[in-house]
Each structure stands twice: as structure tokens, then as C-alpha cells.
Chains A and B, each alone.
Chain A
Amino acid sequence: MTAPRKVGVFLCHCGGNISDVVDVRAVREFAERQEEVVLATDTRFMCSNEGVCRLQDEIRKRSLDGVVVACCTPKMYEDLFRGKAAEAGMNPYLLEIANVREQCAYPHRHEPEKATEKAKGLVLAQVEKVRKLRPLETKTAAVAPGVAVIGAGITGIHASLLLAELGHKVTLIEKSPTIGGNMARLVKTFPTDDCAMCTLSPKMNEAYNHENIELLTYAEVTSAKRTPGRFTLTVTEKPRFVTDACVGCNKCTEKCPVSTAKAPTQVPSEWEMGLAKRKAVYLPFPSALPQLWTIDADHCFYFQRGGKCRICAMVCPAKAIDFTMAAKERQVEVGAVIVATGFQEYDPAPLKHLGFGRHPNVVTQMQVARMLDSMGPTHGAVARRSDGKPATSVVMVQCVGSRGTPGDPLTHEYCSRVCCMVAVKHASLIRKAQPDTEVYILYNDLRAYGKGFEEYYTRSMTLGVKFVRGLPGSVRREGERLLVDVEDMLTGRRLEIPADLVVLSAAMEPPPVDGLLAALHLDKSPDGFVKEYHAKINPTETAIKGVYVAGCAQGPKDITDSISQAGAAAMSAAVFLGKGEMTLNPIVAEVDPALCRACDRCAEVCEFEGVRVDPERLLAVVDETACEGCGKCAVVCPTGAITVRQFRKEQVLASLDAMAPMAVMP
């Protein structure tokens, strides 16, 4: 049998807030009579210097190993009192608060007798709980140094630069052969009409050259293991089949037979959004970083036709082609991960009434962005794809694939946020470059929410962009042109607008990253994007401690907001890594090895990877860095082996029993 506890009960008057309703003296006398209570005292303000000193003095004088403070809600001062108790030499977790203000004196202020009886019950509940509490050790776990940033678009680049500047080692992992992401395609950005590459390029260069950033391109995270304070990512680097000897002369690309006029294999260029073709050996775009050519083995004749074609190797002056290169797998160990995998453009083909995929002159906004690039597939001309003739009438359709009916499998329910501004941008640019071209924007609502957005929109109207409120019923072919059939809601008239080019503002959707999310055990929100910890107050953390999300990976947004989130995620990661160790909240789950049946039920219900069964030891093991302390496991455990500290069954029941009608109240 253990030595009896010495519990001290400290009651607060709260300057009358409590004592005007609750008879504090009666509660004190009641508390004095309870088992193992060696002291019951009251003060005007427990949170004052006087109150705190009293607390600390008594703890020291009497060697208290349990304290109940009856005062305001624990949300106010639980941490304060626990800290003070620790300073005085008592384990802070042996202190509990009886909430006699917000949950007694206040709500029952017109029934002082009942409030006093209830206060006695509340104090007893905490005394009984404290008698069963065990001291908890505040442990730390080493957090591994280094951050992995997955996705090297503007978001990933910006986050990497911030962390690198702080001195952290960053491993920047990008799936495609080049960094830059979607922003590099955009030509101009709203609302300033800055050149996208001009703002992006310096950052790309900085990231490429930074001594603290290791760049892995053409590489994917295929699996991830997590141990306390450390993520071990398995990264597979795909073979480029081109060595460092490459001098960038482009002869291989010129001579590659794939995608030539008569070639049986035609590869649409991902970079040009399918508006042009690329060769099997290629550089994605002129200012791609790294400046490394890549051979796409899925379309290259050497690989697809048994090694017959070696033209690139033959013409290469630097002998840089190496068909024997193999995929490399490496382990990247970091303390934190930032997911910045961006977005992809929705494919509008399923929306048959809009004709994408059937009529060549129905395109998307990203394709128009490529057209507007003077170095792009149409050299800056916004022209018909069918015959290259200039487009004299361009009709843009908003909300394609966004703001769909709930439950519709073909579209998304959410608003993609940026498409209104993208359409206004492209419409303005077309009007400026081709004043003879009519531009219509068919919209439902026009969302110009950001800084400078409304002004940009107003300016587009002075540039002659025509806005029609209504979304088209159909886009059909009429001779050589298309006819867009729409009801103008503001005039009530039906319009049939002839168009050379119909531009669909297609939704932003998440790219195919399910494998990565599964590897990191990240969830998706109902809209399909990576689920943040809390949409309002914590948008860049995730449920997994140490894993952050930023940019369009978390949801549709523009470059400004992506950069903001990149900064937020980088900061959160830096704070997490900051001291090299994390203080573990001890109020997490704990397993009693004598009781554990290794049945796996705890791991099944845990959403935080807080516990898993070690198959060799046949024991459930808690990862104290991941466990959030919710207690779901404790309910499903058949033996009671796993339990949450400070909320063990006997501790919760002690409180419950103490306030029960059957409780004996001496």
C-alpha cells in the first residue's frame, strides 16, 4: 500500500465573482473533511501574486503531492498554476482545477444554495481525481534536422528558400523534369500584368543554386516511414538517360524521329498544354531548371522498339546519351515535410455540351496562356487551332467544372477562386494585343476579391471586354465557326454568339497524388485537396505532426496566397525543427504491456498514427510525438491496456462517482 497523499485544496473568491454566490467557507470546511486532504484554504484572488505565493509556500511546507484549485475555468489558468506548482517542486500534473466560476457560480447565480452544494461536488470530484493521479514526466524527442519539400512550383520554391535562409537543409523533390510548376506557363500574372517568368525565374535560380537546397527532379516519393521526430522518405529518381556531359546543343531533339510529321508516335507537349508536340528527348521549356535533357522512355523508339533507334546518341557531340541509366532509389531522412504539389487543370471533355475534345477550337485558359506566350506554340497569337487563322471572336465560359451540383460525378462542388481573374486577364491581354478581336466573358458571378482585383476588372471593361451574365447551354459548330448559345440573364435575351475560339475557364483540381498522400497518411478534404488541420485557424498544418501543406495542394488559390501559405508552412516547419527537439505533451496514450493483447483495435481507430502494434514484441507501441490524446483507443481496447494519461478510467470515474447522487457526503 502506498503512502497516503497530501492534497491541498485552494479556493478562490475571485473578488466576489465566486464568493457572492458560493459559500466559500462552507466549501472549505467540506473540503477539509475529505480523505487525504491535509489543507483547505481560501484566497481573494488565486491568480494574484498573493494567491500564487500561498500555493507555492504550502506545496513546499507540506510537501503536497496533489493540489486542487477551485477557481475559474482551467482554460484560463491551468497552465499557470501547473507551472507555479512545478517551480515549487511538485509534479505539475498532480494539479487539477475545479471550475466553480464559469460552471457553477455564474450559471447558478440565482440559486446560491444549489451552487454551494454543486461547488462541494465539483471540489470533491477533483480531489478524488487528484488522489488517483500519477506524476507525469515531460519528455522530449529529438527532431531530425532537415525538411523535405515535395513539389517545386512557386510554393515549394518559396518555402524552400525561406527555410534554406534560416539554415535548414532542404531536400526539394519535384516529379517533373523541371522546377517552376504551373506558374512558369502563365505568361502574365494578374492584377499587375507582370511577366510570370520574370518574377519566377530569379527564385528558380536561387533555389537551384542555394547551398542548403538539394534539388531532386524527375523524382517521386514512393513511400514514407515515420518514427518519433523523423520521416524517412523513399525517393525514386527516374533515369533521364542523359548524363552531365550534356552541353545543351539541342541536336538530339532536332534529330529525334518521334513526333515528326510522318512519325507513328506523336507526343503532345505537357508544357504547351497539348497545343504542340514534343520529341522523346526534350527539354521541357527553354529556361527549364535544371537544364538537363530527358528521354521519355515511354515514347522513345530505342526503348519501345528493341534498341533499333540510336539517332540522338549518334549525333550527340558530347556523348551524353546513356541508355543504360537505371532508376535510383534513395532514403531521405528529415524532421518535417511540406507538401506543395500544386494543381492540375480540370479536363472539360466530359461536359459534352461544351465541345471540348470534339471541336479543336474549344480550348482552356491554360492553353490560351500558352498561345499568349510569344515563345509559345502560336508565337503570341490567339488564333483558331483548326486552321491557324486569327480569332476575331473569343468567347470565354466561366465555372467549367467548378460550382457544380452536389453529387454530380462530372464536376466539382467548389469554386476554383482564380478563374474569374484569369479570364479577365486573358481577355484584357487579347483586347490589347488584338484590338479587332471581340472578347466575351460568360459568367455567373464575377469574383474579384483580392488587392487590385476590382480595379483590374473595371479596367478590362474600358478595354472593351464584353461581360454576359449567363452560362451557355451549348457550343455547336456552325460552318467554320462555333456558335455559343446562352441566355443573357440581365436582359433576358437569348444570344447566339459566333466564336472562332471558345475558352473554357476550367477548374483547378488536385493532381494525382493519392500515392504520396497514402505514404504520408494524409487525408483529403471532401473537395479532394489535402486536408489541413483546421480550415480557418490552421490552414498549413495537417493532422500529422511535422507534415505541412501549402499552396494549391491545399485548395484553389492564386500566386499571392500560395506564397503567403508557403511562408506560413515554412515558419511552422522552422518552429517545429527549431530547437532540435520537441517537448512531448505527456497527456497522451500509454500501454500497459501486461495487458496488451496486440489485437490491433487501437491502431485501427487511431487517425494520427499514434499507436501501432509491433509484430515482433506483440505489443502496441505509442508514438508520443504523434498521439493527440483523444482516447478513442482506450474505449475499443478489450483489456484496458491502453489508456490516456490524466484521463485513465479510474481517474475519470473518481470524478463521476464523487458527484453522483449516491455519493456519501459527510
Chain B
Amino acid sequence: MSFEPAVAAFCCNWCGYSAADQAGAAKLEYPAGVRIVRLQCTGMVDPYFVLRAFERGYDGVLVVGCHFGSCHYKSGNHQAREQLDRVAPMLQALGIGQQRLLMTAASAAEGPVFAAKATEFVELVKRLGPSPLREVAR
């Protein structure tokens, strides 16, 4: 049985989440392992969420927000970038690997971009293999 990555996708309400909706409405496809958590803004992404996701066995964490300069809340995505830049070396130090964390942008009209980026990221995580924290479900 081949490995199907489980990816936690934190999406902002205005761009990322809407982009995912648009991807669906346009009948585009992306891997079912992508599990979307809706937030108001990527600025709401706390490093703790990322660590917790890995602790709970997710193989990758994707953060999808507005393009820089278009954040609905002005600069929430800038804070997300800052916070994630600080988490990445921690993931490396812990042995989880910073490649398993990715922040990207897809505006509400960019359904195809969401589908493409989600698929691409799942492929990348697939190549990295299951997260070292994956355990068989109790």
C-alpha cells in the first residue's frame, strides 16, 4: 500500500479557503489527504499549531494565504511568514525537517493555483516519506 500523506492546510478565509472552494467548483482535483483548517487570516497561524500538527501525525503542513500586499487584514500574511520562518529551523533541529512546512499564496480567484500547489506539496511530502512521528493509529 503506497503512502498517502496527510497534510494540514491552514487556509485564510479570504484567499486560501476561497481558492480551495474555487478549485472544487471548477472540478479541479487534488489529493484527498489535504485537510483544510479554516482561519480568518494566516496571521492567526501560531507556531504551536504547526508543532501540534506534526505531533498528531500529519506528514506536512501547508499554509495558504493572500498574496503579499493583498492581505485582507493588511499584513497578517507578513506575520505568518515571520512566525513560520522561526518554526522552520525548529523543525529541522527536532528532526522533522523544514521541508515539510510550506507557506504559499492563492487568491480567491486562483482555484487552479490552489489545486496545483496542494498537489505539488503532497508530491513533495510523499517523496520525503511518512513523518518520523507517524505511529500506527492506536
Contact = CB atoms under 8 A, between A and B. Distances in A.
A91 B40 CA distance: 21
Nearest to B32: A114
Interface in A632-666: 632, 634-636, 644, 647, 649, 652-653, 655-657, 659-665
Given A543-B74, A661-B6, A647 B44 contact: yes
B88 interface: no
A104 B21 CA distance: 10
A587 interface: yes
Interface string B12-40: 00000010111111011110100111111
Contacts of A185: none
B116 to A, nearest CB: 12
B128 to A, nearest CB: 15
Given A628-B73, A663-B137, A106 B24 contact: yes
A95 to B, nearest CB: 14
B73 A659 contact: no
Contact of B27 (A109, A118, A122): A109
Interface in B48-64: 48-49, 52-53, 56-59
A108 interface: yes
A629 interface: yes
Contacts of B105: none
Listed residue (A104, A118, A660) with the most chain B CB atoms within 10 angstroms of its CB: A660
B79 A605 contact: yes
A649 B40 contact: no
A189 interface: no
A74 B36 CA distance: 13
Interface residues of A, number: 51
A101 B20 CA distance: 11
Interface string A38-62: 0000000000000000000000000
A103 interface: yes
A115 B27 contact: no
B44 A630 contact: yes
A196 to B, nearest CB: 37
A103 B24 contact: yes
B137 A102 contact: no
B27 A635 contact: no
Interface residues of B, number: 47
A75 interface: yes
Contacts of A103: 20-21, 24, 36
Contacts of B74: 523, 543, 607-608
Nearest to A665: B137
B32 A661 contact: no
A655 B35 CA distance: 10
Contacts of B30: 107
Contacts of A543: 74
A420 B9 CA distance: 49
Given A102-B24, A635-B83, A647 B32 contact: no
Contact of A660 (B23, B25, B53): B53
Given A107-B115, A628-B73, A634 B46 contact: yes
A160 interface: no
B40 A631 contact: yes
Contacts of B43: 630-632, 635
B46 A102 contact: no
B137 A662 contact: yes
Listed residue (B22, B23, B47, B76) with the most chain A CB atoms within 10 angstroms of its CB: B76
Contacts of A74: 38
A266 B22 CA distance: 66
Contacts of A106: 24-25, 27
Contacts of B137: 661-665
A373 B22 CA distance: 57
Contacts of A652: 37, 39, 44, 49
A111 interface: yes
Interface string A602-637: 000101100000000000000000001111101110
A653 B52 contact: yes
B24 A629 contact: no
B35 to A, nearest CB: 4
A168 B75 CA distance: 35
B40 A644 contact: yes
A99 B32 contact: no
B111 to A, nearest CB: 10
Nearest to B75: A607
B36 A99 contact: yes
Nearest to B39: A647
28 contacts: A73-B24, A75-B18, A99-B21, A102-B21, A102-B23, A104-B24, A105-B24, A106-B24, A108-B29, A109-B29, A117-B32, A587-B40, A607-B74, A607-B75, A628-B73, A630-B72, A631-B43, A631-B76, A644-B40, A647-B39, A649-B46, A656-B37, A656-B56, A659-B6, A661-B56, A661-B59, A661-B134, A662-B57
Interface of A: 73-75, 99, 101-111, 114-115, 117-118, 121-122, 125, 523, 543, 587, 605, 607-608, 628-632, 634-636, 644, 647, 649, 652-653, 655-657, 659-665
Interface of B: 4, 6, 8, 18, 20-25, 27-30, 32, 35-41, 43-49, 52-53, 56-59, 72-76, 79, 83, 115, 134-135, 137-138
